[in-house]
Structure formats: structure tokens, C-alpha cells
């Protein structure tokens, strides 16, 4: 990767709470954090915010079923072990993940054992008893003697572990030893997701984010059972992925970003590092190569991709719709096939996103011609096409997924795609885009689809959002974060928190569990954990944060 700037912090460091809430700039509805420390901000323990969660149901996303027990709580102690099923590598990976998460704060060994579970152990079990909960569901039972998580797959165990993290005191997220007790409320949680596809998106094309910064965001989204990360790898402002045979894509096309910074790109090895790290956190990477528009970085890198054979200058603005690959040139399809083939080979996940949005410089006829060539390429290389909803006009095969980003509740092309059998991924920009301002005075963010307050991000039902598109056609939801105004991890966090957890709950929880009054209370309960992790979040006045 071409190094362009130092990260704002070490990717996995979790700042002390006194530093985590940095110098604040007061806004109309909250505060934005910057990098300088503010020692006057109290540690969450001073307000009692570090106490363990008061109930099993005080987690995000809201569980399917919760039955509390007023009996004695489970307590992690120095002798607590983590029991993992013998001979299952994936389940043992989840056990190691939990061990690594809790060792720094508790100071306990939390040894993994594969024999008979002991009293006071955390037990991870894989069996057939939870088939009705699917691959991602789990059952958690908590009593004085034992805490057990049962699932049919390691994915379900991982999701149960994320719930356990929220049930522990917030100081369990510390990266240094803290004093207990480490208690978990007693009872039972039975939980499964509403939608299989629960996604976040990070735009690394407008502004480039280094490997460690992407890993940090993966850590953060995984807590809320997000299982896909859509990486927007190419756009007018930058090309961020190495492609053999086309070196200028990165040496030239990746050399800048919005505002004229130095940009950057991922080598194939670095991209593999991101993919592997995501998999360890139960997250699948979905790469996006946007085309035929949003391609100025590529057009500037190779003159032959332009219809007139002339390479335009690099672009560092934020306007859209002016660029297009040359639809009638054979070299265009040789280029596209090379890119899709190599990106598909680097990406083990099912989907490859081909963009397709805002191709204003491509005629409708040329657009359909282009997609008729490109869509079969994606499938030839073993991937399922995914694209922004404009590409539905090209009538992709039934296996393809259509991502809706509009701001209205009706779209005839998306409705027709659903009728043809295409799955629909919802990310309406005025609800789900976490790059929009929270209110008119927010320092960061855009406002073409906003402002979007926290309640607005939460208060909608994906199942009945689009007219003429049934609940059965909805694959899930995504929280996109485009980076026109976002340059570092602090700013990613400010825009994503607390709205990303809102979208995560819409993707996981059943409609009956979606309740703003409950969510805002549970959201407030996350603040102490975010402080322990050094997450710079927006203190919306819609949420009763501790200490306010």
C-alpha cells in the first residue's frame, strides 16, 4: 500500500476513557470529537455508567426472545474457562476471539478447554438442536453455574459472543486490566436475524483509508452483527486496488483523493489481509468496481479507455456523472474482464459489486449494451452481480442483487426487478446513508439526502418501505458511508455512531422488536463501551446519554 498519512490512532488500540472523548465542538444537537484530549470529560465510572447492563434485553440489535431470571448472576472469575467443541476449527476460532477480547480487561487467562465443562465456565456448543434459528441464530442460557451459547454454526456462536460482550460491564472493552466484578444477568436469550444480508459500506475511493483503519471499522461493525462490508474501491477521485497488467491504475489513478491529498491504494497482499481479518470477525467483503460511470481515475490512467483516446486530468472534486468508459471499444471489455477476474479471485465472498449508478454521460442504449457484456463476466468468474438500482434497467439474471439508494418509497425499475426474482438490498439515502449531516449545523457530512437524525435513521421498516416490493424480496439493509467529507477514523466513527447501530438493528431484529423509545434507551447504554473503545461518537440530543 502506498502510505499517504499516519493513521489517527493505532487500529486496535482502545484509548483510555479520559482521552476517548476528545476536545469537543458543540453543535446544535450534540458534539463532534477531535484528536486533542479533554481532561475535563469525566470517566464513565464517575457517573455510574460502567455498571453492568441492567437486563438481558438491553442489547443492540434487540434479541428475538428474552426470558430474564431473577436468580444469581453468572460471574467470570479467575478460574473461568472457555469450553469449545472438540475438533471444530471454526468454533475454536470463536473461542479464541472471545478469549482475546476479554483477557486484556479482566486479566484472567480464560483458558480454552475441550474436555468436560466446569462450574463457572463459558460453554460454546454446536449441535442440531437450534436448527430453527438458522446458521446465524443462537441460544444463550445464563445461570450461576454456567453461561452457555448454542448454535448450529460458528456464525451463530460468533453472534452470541457479540451479545455476551454487551451484557458484560462496559469496562470489559478496555485494553488494560480493570477491576471486576464481571457479571452477566441470568436468563435465556433465543435470537436469530430477520435478514441474512446486514451490511455497512466504506468509501475508500473519495478519501483513502489504510488497512489498519479498515480493520478498525470491521471491529466496530462486527459488534452489532453486521456481516458484510462493502468496500467502494474505485471512483472518479481514486483507484484503490492493484490490478496486474494495469499498473497506472494505482500509480497514477490512486495518487490523489478529494481535496488533492496523496491518496493511496491496496496491494493484493494488503487486500487479502483485509479480507482475512474480516472473515475472522464474521464479515464478508463485497468489493465494488464502479462502472461505466464514476471512472475518471481509470480514464486518466489509460487514454485508450476514452472514446477520443485522450486521458483527462485527475479529479479531486465531488461532482458526479461526468465520466464514462467507452462502450464501443474492445479494449474496454478486455480491461473490465481483467479487473473483474482478478478482484473475483482475490475475494472469497459471493458478491461482486459493479456500481452502475449515476452514469449520466452514457446513453440508455449504451448503458444496456455495456451491462449486457459485463454482467456475464461477473458470473463467468464465479460471482453474483450486485449493483446500484440503476442497473436494474439492464435486467440482470434472477440471481443478481439490486441495491436501492433512492430517497422515495417507490421505484418502478426496482419493483420490476423484484417481480423478476431479484433480491433487493435497501439503503435509502435519506435513511441509511451515514455520511449525511445529522442536522444543518453538523460540521461533517453532506446534505443532498439529509440531514438525517438518529431517529430518522431508525424509524422505518425495511419490509414495507418500497411500494410494490414485498418483504420476501428484501435481502437486507446497508449503511453506506461515502467519504467526501470524511478523512480519518475519528470522522468515520462520528458519522457512523450512533446511526450504524440503528441500521444494524433494522437488519437483525423482528418488526415487533423495533421501538424507538426502547432503542434510544439501549443506545444510551452503549456510550460507556464506546468510550472504552475510543470511539468518537455523536451525542445526539435525541438520546438520553449518561451524564447529560
Task: Please give the radius of gyration of the chain, using alpha carbons only, rounded to the nearest integer.
Answer: 23
Cell of residue 221, nine digits: 461493525
Q: 406-436 burial, b if ≥16 CB within 10 A, otherwise e?
A: beeeebebbbbbbeeebbbbbbbbbbbbbbb
SS3 270: helix
Compute the distance between CA of residue 342 and CA of residue 334 in angstroms, rounded to an integer.
Answer: 12
Longest dimension (CA), the chain: 76
Catalytic residue among 358, 395, 416, 541: 358
Cell of residue 303, nine digits: 487514454
Partnered with residue 190 across adjacent β-strands are 65, 139
Number of helices (H) and strands (E) in the chain: give both, helices first.
Answer: 16, 21
The contacts found for 160-163 with CB under 8 angstroms, 24 or more apart, are: 160/124, 160/191, 161/94, 161/97, 161/98, 161/101, 161/124, 162/222, 162/223, 162/224, 162/225, 163/59, 163/63, 163/138, 163/189, 163/191
CB 411 within 8 A of CB 419: no
Is 358 catalytic? The answer is yes
Strands (E), 98-225: 112-113, 122-126, 138-142, 147-151, 182-184, 187-191, 197-203
Which positions are annotated as active-site residues? 358
Amino acid at each position: 500500500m502506498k502510505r499517504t498519512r499516519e493513521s489517527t490512532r493505532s487500529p486496535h488500540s482502545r484509548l483510555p476513557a479520559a482521552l476517548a472523548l476528545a476536545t469537543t465542538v458543540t453543535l446544535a444537537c450534540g458534539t463532534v470529537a477531535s484528536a486533542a484530549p479533554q481532561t475535563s470529560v469525566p470517566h464513565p465510572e464517575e457517573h455510574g455508567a460502567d455498571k453492568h447492563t441492567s437486563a438481558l434485553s438491553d442489547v443492540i440489535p434487540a434479541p428475538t426472545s428474552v426470558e430474564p431470571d431473577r436468580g444469581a448472576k453468572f460471574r467470570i472469575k479467575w478460574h473461568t474457562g472457555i469450553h469449545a467443541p472438540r475438533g471444530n476449527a471454526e468454533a475454536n476460532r470463536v473461542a479464541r476471539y472471545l478469549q482475546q477480547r476479554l483477557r486484556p480487561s479482566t486479566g484472567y487467562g480464560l483458558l480454552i478447554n475441550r474436555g468436560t465443562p466446569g462450574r463457572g465456565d463459558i460453554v460454546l456448543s454446536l449441535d442440531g438442536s437450534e436448527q430453527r434459528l438458522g446458521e446465524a441464530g443462537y441460544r444463550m442460557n445464563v445461570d450461576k453455574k454456567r453461561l452457555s451459547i448454542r448454535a448450529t454454526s460458528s456464525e451463530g456462536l460468533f453472534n452470541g459472543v457479540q451479545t455476551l460482550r454487551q451484557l458484560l460491564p462496559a469496562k470489559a472493552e478496555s485494553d488494560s486490566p480493570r477491576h471486576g466484578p464481571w457479571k452477566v444477568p441470568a436468563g435465556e436469550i433465543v435470537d436469530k436475524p430477520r435478514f441474512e444480508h446486514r451490511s455497512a459500506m466504506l468509501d475508500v475511493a473519495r478519501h483513502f483509508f489504510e488497512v489498519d483503519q479498515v480493520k478498525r471499522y470491521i471491529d466496530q461493525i462486527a459488534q452489532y452483527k453486521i456481516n458484510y462490508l462493502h468496500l467502494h474501491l474505485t471512483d472518479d477521485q481514486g483507484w484503490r486496488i492493484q490490478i496486474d497488467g494495469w499498473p497506472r491504475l494505482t500509480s497514477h489513478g490512486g495518487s490523489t483523493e478529494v481535496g488533492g491529498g496523496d491518496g493511496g491504494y491496496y496491494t493484493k497482499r494488503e487486500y487479502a489481509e483485509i479480507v482475512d481479518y474480516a472473515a475472522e470477525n464474521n464479515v464478508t467483503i463485497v468489493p465494488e468496481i464502479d462502472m461505466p460511470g464514476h471512472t475518471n481515475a481509470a480514464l486518466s490512467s489509460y487514454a485508450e479507455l476514452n472514446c477520443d483516446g485522450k486521458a483527462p486530468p485527475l479529479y479531486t472534486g465531488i461532482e458526479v456523472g461526468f465520466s464514462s468508459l467507452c462502450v464501443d471499444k474492445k479494449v474496454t471489455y478486455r480491461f473490465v474482464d481483467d479487473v473483474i477476474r482478478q478482484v473475483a479471485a482475490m475475494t472469497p465472498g459471493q458478491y461482486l459489486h459493479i456500481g452502475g449508478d449515476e452514469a449520466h454521460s452514457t446513453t440508455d442504449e449504451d448503458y444496456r449494451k455495456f451491462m449486457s457484456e459485463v454482467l456475464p463476466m461477473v458470473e463467468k468468474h464465479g460471482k453474483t452481480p450486485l449493483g446500484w438500482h440503476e442497473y436494474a434497467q439492464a435486467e440482470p439474471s434472477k440471481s443478481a442483487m439490486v441495491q436501492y439508494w433512492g430517497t422515495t418509497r417507490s421505484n418502478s425499475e426496482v419493483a420490476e426487478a423484484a417481480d423478476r426474482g431479484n433480491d433487493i438490498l435497501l439503503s435509502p439515502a435519506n435513511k441509511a446513508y451515514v455520511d449525511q449531516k445529522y442536522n444543518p449545523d453538523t460540521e461533517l457530512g453532506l446534505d443532498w439526502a439529509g440531514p438525517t437524525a438518529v431517529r430518522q435513521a431508525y424509524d422505518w421498516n425495511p419490509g414495507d418501505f418500497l411500494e410494490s416490493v414485498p418483504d420476501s424480496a428484501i435481502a437486507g439493509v446497508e449503511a453506506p458511508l461515502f467519504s467526501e467529507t470524511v478523512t480519518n477514523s475519528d470522522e468515520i466513527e462520528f458519522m457512523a455512531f450512533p446511526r450504524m447501530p440503528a441500521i444494524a438493528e433494522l437488519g437483525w431484529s423482528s418488526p415487533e422488536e423495533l421501538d424507538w423509545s426502547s432503542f434510544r434507551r439501549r443506545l444510551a447504554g452503549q456510550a460507556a463501551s464506546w468510550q472504552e473503545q475510543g470511539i468518537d461518537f455523536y451525542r445526539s440530543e435525541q438520546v438520553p446519554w449518561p451524564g447529560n
